[in-house]
Amino acid sequence: MEDVKSLKKLNEQALKDNYIKACQDKKFSALVKRLDVSSNEAMKYTSSLEDTVKELKNCEECKGLLECKNRLEGYVSFPQKMDKGIIFSYKPCSYKKEELVKEKNKPTKENELANAKMADIDITDKKRIPIIKWLKNFYDTYDRNGKFKGLYLHGNFGCGKTYLIAALFNELAKKKISSEIVYFPELLRDLKVNFDLMGDTLDYLEEVDLLLIDDIGAEKVTEWGRDEILGTILQKRMNNYKTTFFTSNLTIPELEQHLNMNKYSDDEIRARRIIERVKQLTEDMELISENKRK
């Protein structure tokens, strides 16, 4: 027992000696003073505080992220006083902050769709006029208590199919109409990873006022994705008179071939069942236009 007490006392003395030595560094002392903690409390974190001081010194001499010498590029392990002591979290340096701001402001498809407006739709392309007229009529007449067909909008890559429908949804959101856009291949991947959330996700997608299933036909077809996910969503929305939209690079006949993955009679029937639901839920329109992603 005496040996244990002696060892504990030696460790405490060593910790105190290390702390006193560290305090000889002006930056270390300034950091402890800034934290406004007692010496006994700061002493427990001597090694971690020294790491912070070292990283801060690296930052003073650094001329850019490519020269970063810290453990995590562009970040400093920085201390913060808490009720139960000191915690350390990574704070971005000035160069990293600048990079993060640029990334945040960089145009993304999600940002573009979130800000889509019908007033911003390009009307100089005559091929878009029939689609724009359809969307305008839908906007003027839609009532969540009525029975309204959505749109199966197919066409070439990058011609703005998703943007057109997103603009419609955003305008209707001002009338308190709920809507959701799901990129279908990603939805299937997310449900596989978060299987426990599948029930709540499907319930939501089955009940939201307006749903866009984006880029259907781009997914890898499985019986689970086709029958259990897509089939269930479409059947419930059809039963509840919920308006559904689709975008695709495939025509409806091409989508049927895509869904008929094994070309067996039973598979053919299941694919056709999906297609019949699509036809009952939508009007079919084509948009062949300039690829705006170029």
213-234 per-position pLDDT tens digit: 999 988 888 888 888 999 999 9
In the chain, the percentage of residues whose pLDDT exceeds 90 is 35
- Phi and psi at residue 244, in whole multiples of 5°? -130, 140
Mean pLDDT of 186-206: 83
Domain co-membership, 122 together with 77: no
Strand partners, 213: 182, 246
Domain co-membership, 18 together with 59: yes
Residue 7 lies in a domain: yes
* Residue whose C-alpha is closest to residue 54's, from 78, 86, 80, 20: 78
Question: Can you give the residue range of the structural domain that contains 25?
Answer: 2-101
Domain co-membership, 120 together with 83: no
At residue 246, does pLDDT exceed 90? Answer: yes
Domain co-membership, 178 together with 118: yes
Of 79, 101, 123, the residue that ends a domain is 101
Of 66, 82, 101, the residue that ends a domain is 101
Confidence (pLDDT) at 263: 66
Contacts of 288 (CB under 8 A, 6+ apart): 127, 155, 156, 159
How many residues does this entry show for the chain? 294
Confidence (pLDDT) at 234: 93
At residue 92, does pLDDT exceed 90? Answer: no
48-83 per-position pLDDT tens digit: 999 999 999 999 989 888 889 998 888 898 888 877
pTM of the model: 0.61
117-136 per-position pLDDT tens digit: 777 777 778 888 899 999 99
Q: Per mean pLDDT, which range of 88-102, 167-181, 203-217 is the poorest? A: 88-102
Domain co-membership, 249 together with 142: yes
Domain co-membership, 281 together with 205: yes
Domain co-membership, 149 together with 8: no
Domain co-membership, 49 together with 182: no
14-28 per-position pLDDT tens digit: 888 999 999 999 999
What's the number of domains the chain is made of? 2
Cβ atoms of 180 and 210 closer than 8 Å: yes
Residue 71 lies in a domain: yes
262-291 per-position pLDDT tens digit: 766 788 888 999 999 999 999 999 887 665
Domain co-membership, 79 together with 116: no
Of 101, 134, 166, the residue that ends a domain is 101
Distant-in-sequence contacts of 204-209, Cβ < 8 A, 24+ apart: 204/180, 205/180, 205/233, 206/232, 206/233, 206/236, 206/237, 206/240, 206/242, 207/240, 207/242, 208/178, 208/179, 208/180, 208/242, 209/144, 209/177, 209/178, 209/179, 209/242, 209/243
Rounded Cα–Cα distance for residues 181 and 278 (Å): 16
**Domain CATH for 232:** 3.40.50.300
Provide the token pair at 97. Answer: 């902050």
Residue 293 lies in a domain: no
Confidence (pLDDT) at 281: 94
Domain co-membership, 149 together with 242: yes
At residue 293, does pLDDT exceed 60? Answer: no
At residue 193, does pLDDT exceed 60? Answer: yes
